């Protein structure tokens, strides 16, 4: 019997040849020479933003609000993302008020349907991007994407027995795994445990029911941790697991959700001495604590594989002290010669006093001092 996975593979193989031919012409050295020095992409993207080969982008083709605090978008990528594995994430970027912001979101669709990648974004209390998407995502919107990444994914050789545990917004990578297995016609037992605060905040309820109906080897157990009323009572516990997944020692278990869920699972699996069977992905919301005052923390120079303690001076001075030779110029925040990427952490602008914790941000290191731990690209 031909599965969805088989059909998909066949369709993709056929389509790629015409795309390849188009690319061969556009990326030919003749066309590049004609479009020098800006490059072909800078002309094509003015006609259609998706026609940019150096950046992975996508067009939103569907936007649905399953709950008040989330948006589910289906994105058509401009590039073949078929390399991604169920459970991985992509870096989604959107422009908010003229400035690009990127956040990682797990792909929730099946591995075998890479032409339409689905993402479900849940709002964080202070989240800029999540709120923007929840409010504004609609068909036609162009977003930046990336190829799939991450260590949390289904292994190439599918385990016979699988337990999938999802808490809140952590359902996204896990349901990708489930959909993938269903597309493959997986016949082994799958136990799906879904924890949500309440039915109003529960994602993918209908889909889970439909899949369970179509696939007799799949059993879905729901728990509503705030008010009860599901198949399971309250938060993850050994009692629940014994009831619905007694054979878990012989299964591979994938869990994603808030820290409390992950800790509970890790504790139980450790007690049973089957830690190697448990695979965990953390969705901890970004902490927005900004430390001010005394010089604390460490600076990680990622490009040089070097780490030093922060002494409060500008990043340029501390880099030079550490023996690095970053490019610099006026050393007063005017010429941008020293500008490079801060990957993580907070910095204070020595001219304005402003503190910024934006991830992956271009900063002028001659006028930026670390506030706490910082990682920069040099």
Partner 1 sequence: MTDYPTLTPEQLDSFGRELDAIRDRHLADRGKRDTEYIRKVIRAQRGLEVAGRGMLMLGFLPPAWLGGTAALSLSKILDNMEIGHNVMHGQYDWTGDPALSSKEFEWDTACPSDQWRHSHNYMHHTHTNIVGKDRDIGYGILRMSEDEEWRPYYLGNPVYAALLATFFQYGVAMHDLEVERIQTGETSLAEKRDMIKSIWHKVRGQWLKDYALFPVLSGPSAPFVLAGNATANLARNLWSFTIIFCGHFPDGTHEFSEEETEDETRGEWYYRQLLGSANLTGGKLFHVLSGNLSHQIEHHLFPDIPAHRYAEISVEVREVCERYGLPYNSGPLSKQFGSVVRKIFRLALPGGGGGEAEERSGDPVAKRDVVVRAKEDDALLVA
Contacting residues toward partner 1, per CB under 8 A: 30, 33-34, 36-38, 42-43, 45-46, 54-55, 93, 95, 97-102, 329-330, 332, 334-337, 339, 351-352, 360-362
Closest CB 104 distance from partner 1, rounded Å: 16
Q: Taking the CB of residue 150, how many other CB atoms lie within 10 A of it?
A: 16
- What are residue 134's phi and psi, to 5 degrees? -60, -40
Of 291 and 339, which has the nearer Cβ to partner 1? 339
Please report, in angstroms and rounded to a whole number, the separation of the first and last CA atoms in the chain: 53
Query: How far apart are the C-alpha atoms of 337 and 79, rounded to whole Å?
Result: 33
Closest CB 350 distance from partner 1, rounded Å: 12
Of 267 and 362, which has the nearer Cβ to partner 1? 362
Tokens 């479900």 found at = 120
Query: For residue 219, what are the β-bridge partners?
Result: 191
Closest CB 327 distance from partner 1, rounded Å: 9
For residue 37, cis peptide bond before it (omega within 30 degrees of 0):
yes
Please report how many Cα atoms fall inside a 13 Å half-sphere around the Cα of residue 208, on the Cβ side.
23
Closest CB 362 distance from partner 1, rounded Å: 5
Over the range 318-354, which residues count as b (16 or more CB within 10 Å of their CB) and which as e?
bbeeeeeebebeebebeeeebbbebebbbbbebeeee
Closest CB 305 distance from partner 1, rounded Å: 22
């Amino acid at each position: 019997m031909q599965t969805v996975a088989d059909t998909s593979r066949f369709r993709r193989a056929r389509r790629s040849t015409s795309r390849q031919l188009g690319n061969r012409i556009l990326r030919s050295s003749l066309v590049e020479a004609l479009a020098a020095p800006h490059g072909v992409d800078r002309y094509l993207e003015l006609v259609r933003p998706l026609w940019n080969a150096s950046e992975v982008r996508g067009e939103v083709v569907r936007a649905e609000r399953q709950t008040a605090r989330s948006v589910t978008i289906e994105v058509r990528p401009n590039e073949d993302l078929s390399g991604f594995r169920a459970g991985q994430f992509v870096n989604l970027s959107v422009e908010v008020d003229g400035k690009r912001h990127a956040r990682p979101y797990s792909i929730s669709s099946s591995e075998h349907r890479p032409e339409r990648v689905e993402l479900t974004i849940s709002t964080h209390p202070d989240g800029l991007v999540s709120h923007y998407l929840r409010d504004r995502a609609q068909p036609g919107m162009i977003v930046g994407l990336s190829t799939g990444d991450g260590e949390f994914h289904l292994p190439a050789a599918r385990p016979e027995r699988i337990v999938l545990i999802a808490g809140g917004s952590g359902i996204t990578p896990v349901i990708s795994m489930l959909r993938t297995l269903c597309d493959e016609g997986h016949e082994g037992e799958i136990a799906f445990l879904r924890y949500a605060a309440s039915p109003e905040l529960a994602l993918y309820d209908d889909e889970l029911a439909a899949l369970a109906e179509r696939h007799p080897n799949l059993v879905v157990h729901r728990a509503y941790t705030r008010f009860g009323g599901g198949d399971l009572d309250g938060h993850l516990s050994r009692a629940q697991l014994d009831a619905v997944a007694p054979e878990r020692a012989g299964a591979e278990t994938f869990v994603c959700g808030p820290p409390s869920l992950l800790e509970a699972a890790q504790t139980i699996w450790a007690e049973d001495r089957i830690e190697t069977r448990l695979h965990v992905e953390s969705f901890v919301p970004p902490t927005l604590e900004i430390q001010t005052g005394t010089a604390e923390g460490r600076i990680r120079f990622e490009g040089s594989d070097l780490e030093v303690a922060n002494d409060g001076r500008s990043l340029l001075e501390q880099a030079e002290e550490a023996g690095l030779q970053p490019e610099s110029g006026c050393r007063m925040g005017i010429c941008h010669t020293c500008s490079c990427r801060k990957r993580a952490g907070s910095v204070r602008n020595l001219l304005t006093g402003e503190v910024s914790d934006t991830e992956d941000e271009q900063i002028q290191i001659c006028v930026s001092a670390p506030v706490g731990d910082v990682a920069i690209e040099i």
